Structure 1
Amino acid sequence: MSTLHLDGFLPYRLSIASNRVSNVIATAYQAMFGLKIPEWRLVAVLAEGEGMSQQALGVMTRMDKVTVSRAAIGLVERGLVKREPNPHDQRSHLLRLTRSGEELYEQVAPKALELERRIFAEFEEKEIGQLRSMLERLEDAAAGFEVEAT
């Protein structure tokens, strides 16, 4: 019988590393901008393009409906995001950054890039590229299991 040693179990190690990095970032965003990680993810995705429905944001950020909804409500209440009717689906709304949301993004994005730089300061560019490539492959492999489970 195989024995599972949690410290050597790669999904566990990946989760621990992800949680540690997320906690560093979450603490910084909360302290500097009053943003929670789900809120920042919505702001970042909305800054990259056109208005999106909450459903599309959930797919794009890989967050569940409740998390997206709570983050969107918080951002709307703060005047960072506005809801507009969706011309393609009257049952949903499109979310867009307000001018205040755009200004916040312009403040947060450089800080996010600086945090990323600091976290990966001890890594060589080649290693970072390898990590990116491996993460993409890992996500693709996991996506195959999601299809099987449905």
Structure 2
Amino acid sequence: MPNTFELSAFMPYRLAVLSERVSRRLSIEYGHTHGLNVAEWRVLVHLQRRGKVSVRDIHNCVNLEKPRVSRAVARLESAGLVQKLGKQTDGRLVAISLTGEGERALGEILPLVTEIEARLMGELSETERETFFSVMEKLHAALDGDPKARPRSAVELAPDEG
């Protein structure tokens, strides 16, 4: 039987390619303006949303391996965009938070990346946008019911504050 599998038609591959293209496009903005890579960007926006958190918390919520998160945090700390604080409950755990400089950097980056998102989403009608997000949620729900799938984090399940 000949192999008729078409990678270009395989939904997981198509999602990965689209996700990577969007991430790379956004990274042009924050890379050019602030010298950040994708991991550093994800750490910064997670800290903006959640405040002081551990590397473990970031790792669990931003879809990056723990060593990559640790390297990103170290580089961001060297750049003065984040700071590490010891937690009272366990001396080995460190809380990471944005510095004033990190907040300023995000204030400059967010309008650039949200404009790109708006341009992309502007290609879709309101009905298409609603369908797009509904389909994504259905796929998440299917994975939520799969015991072998990585569970969504509490951050992925929680609506944004403000």
CA distance in structure 1 between the partners assigned to 2:145 and 2:64 by the alignment: 18
CA distance in structure 1 between the partners assigned to 2:5 and 2:104 by the alignment: 48
- Structure richer in helix, relative to its length: 1
Q: Percent identity?
A: 32
Aligned residues: 149
Structure 1 residues 63 and 140, CA gap change in structure 2 (3 angstroms): farther
Partner of 2:129: 128
Structure 1 residues 149 and 142, CA gap change in structure 2 (3 angstroms): closer
CA RMSD of aligned residues (A): 1.8
What 5-or-longer segments of structure 2 have no aligned partner?
Answer: 151-162
The alpha carbon displacement at 1:143 in A equals: 4.3
CA distance in structure 1 between the partners assigned to 2:30 and 2:137 by the alignment: 25
What 5-or-longer segments of structure 1 have no aligned partner?
Answer: none
Counterpart residue type for residue 65 of structure 1: K
Runs of 4+ residues over 2 Å off in structure 1: 139-145, 147-150
Local SS of the residue matching 1:134: helix
TM-score by length of 1: 0.90
Q: Does 1:62 align with 2:82?
A: no
Partner of 2:75: 74
TM-score by length of 2: 0.84
CA distance in structure 1 between the partners assigned to 2:7 and 2:149 by the alignment: 24
Within-5 A mapping of 1:1-150:
3-145=4-146, 147-148=147-148
CA distance in structure 1 between the partners assigned to 2:149 and 2:140 by the alignment: 15
